[in-house]
């Protein structure tokens, strides 16, 4: 999935003894690998939608991502969670964290560059901060965080060229990308409130969540698309890579990092994703780049970083 972990997201789920074991590959290498595959996800979406409908791209992404997690669960002898209530909450989480944002990004990239989609994805911590004003009492904002929120949205306006009246910008595509980014913190707030302390491992919950999201797209996709008349190879390979690497493997690496170095360090991958997405879009897809895009992206990332600053004990601001 094209979301990076945050403290509020990953702390909602329990860590088992197995998940705390130190991996043999240095965490910095895995951190870089995670940033790379998530950064390239937006390019892969763009290539995939060049040959298949957005819902088909999303369905393929979820299908191959679920397959990777199924193999990981079999190797580790993990079982799917039990209980109708848990599965009910996971169904909602699957919609908010996978099916909906993945589909929105796929539709958005029909009309906006992958570089812009990657930058919109970086606004997720800003949305999370805004939602924390009313949703999570333990994350009440400090002055620094509120300043970060304002700075971040100033960066968004810079990326979008607000002073030019948003000329040349596809409003619907940009709105879908921003809504996709908003869906992630909503989903994680829901997970934090409903699945924290469930007793199931991260791998078990994530595997079930992706399975449910795949089932959701299996129902939706035939209703809005028809079976492709041909299967162009390059877009198909892009979808396979997007699912297997950008979703399945990425989730395994993500939770391994959180278990080893903690959510605060692991969440820093968020700030590398738009940089890689922009570089990939410009270098490989030949997407245009004006000065406002990197400058605005830097402002967005600075604001997002400020929203994650933890208050000192006994102080606010």
Q: Which residue has the higher pLDDT, 311 or 180?
A: 180
Inter-residue contact 76 to 191 (CB < 8 Å) = no
Is residue 255 a contact partner of residue 16, using CB atoms and an 8 Å limit?
no
**Selected residue with higher pLDDT from 92 and 13:** 92
Residues 229-277 have pLDDT tens digits of: 889 999 999 999 999 999 999 989 988 887 787 766 677 787 788 888 9
d(CA 51, CA 242): 14
Residues of the chain with pLDDT > 70, as a percent, come to 84
Q: Read off the pTM.
A: 0.84
Residue 250 makes CB contacts below 8 A (sequence gap 6+) with: 1, 34, 37, 38
Please indicate whether residue 22 or residue 133 has the higher confidence score (pLDDT). 133
- pLDDT at position 14 is 47
C-alpha to C-alpha distance for 122 and 145, rounded to whole angstroms: 16
State the pLDDT at residue 59: 98
256 touches 25 (CB < 8 A): no
34-53: per-residue pLDDT in tens? 989 999 999 999 999 999 99
Contacts 24+ apart (CB under 8 A), 61-64: 61/102, 61/239, 61/242, 61/243, 61/246, 61/247, 62/98, 62/99, 62/102, 62/210, 62/213, 62/214, 62/217, 62/243, 62/247, 63/214, 63/243, 64/239, 64/240, 64/242, 64/243, 64/244, 64/247, 64/248
Each residue of 86-118: pLDDT tens digit?
999 999 999 999 999 999 999 999 999 999 999
**What's the pLDDT at 305?**
80
- The pLDDT tens digits for 195-221 are 877 778 889 999 999 999 999 999 999
Give the pLDDT score at 273. 87
Summarised one tens digit per residue, pLDDT across range 145-199 is 778 878 887 888 887 776 665 566 788 999 999 999 999 989 988 988 898 777 7
């Amino acid at each position: 999935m094209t979301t990076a972990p945050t403290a509020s997201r990953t702390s909602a789920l329990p860590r088992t003894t197995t998940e705390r074991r130190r991996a043999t590959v240095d965490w910095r290498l895995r951190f870089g690998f995670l940033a790379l595959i998530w950064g390239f996800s937006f390019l892969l979406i763009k290539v995939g939608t060049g040959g298949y409908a957005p819902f088909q791209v999303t369905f393929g992404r979820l299908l191959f991502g679920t397959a990777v997690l199924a193999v990981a669960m079999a190797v580790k002898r993990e079982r799917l969670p039990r209980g109708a209530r848990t599965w009910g909450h996971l169904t909602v989480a699957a919609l908010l964290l996978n099916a909906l944002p993945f589909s929105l990004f796929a539709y958005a990239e029909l009309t906006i560059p992958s570089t812009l989609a990657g930058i919109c994805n970086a606004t997720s911590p800003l949305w999370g901060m805004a939602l924390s004003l009313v949703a999570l009492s333990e994350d009440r904002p400090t002055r620094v965080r509120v300043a970060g929120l304002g700075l971040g949205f100033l960066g968004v306006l810079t990326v979008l060229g607000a002073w030019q009246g948003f000329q040349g910008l596809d409003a619907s595509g940009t709105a879908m990308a921003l809504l996709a980014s908003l869906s992630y913190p909503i989903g994680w707030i829901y997970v934090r409130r409903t699945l924290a302390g469930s007793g199931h491992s991260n791998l078990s919950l994530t595997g079930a969540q992706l399975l449910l999201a795949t089932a959701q797209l299996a129902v939706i996709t035939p209703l809005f698309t028809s079976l492709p008349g041909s299967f162009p190879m390059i877009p198909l390979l892009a979808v396979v890579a997007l699912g297997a690497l950008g979703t399945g493997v990425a989730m395994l690496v993500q939770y391994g990092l959180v278990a080893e170095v903690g959510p605060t360090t692991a969440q820093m991958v968020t700030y590398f994703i738009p940089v890689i997405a922009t570089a990939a879009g410009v270098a490989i897809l030949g997407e245009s780049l004006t000065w406002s895009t990197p400058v605005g992206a830097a402002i967005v990332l600075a604001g997002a970083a400020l929203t994650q600053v933890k208050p000192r004990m006994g102080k606010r601001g």
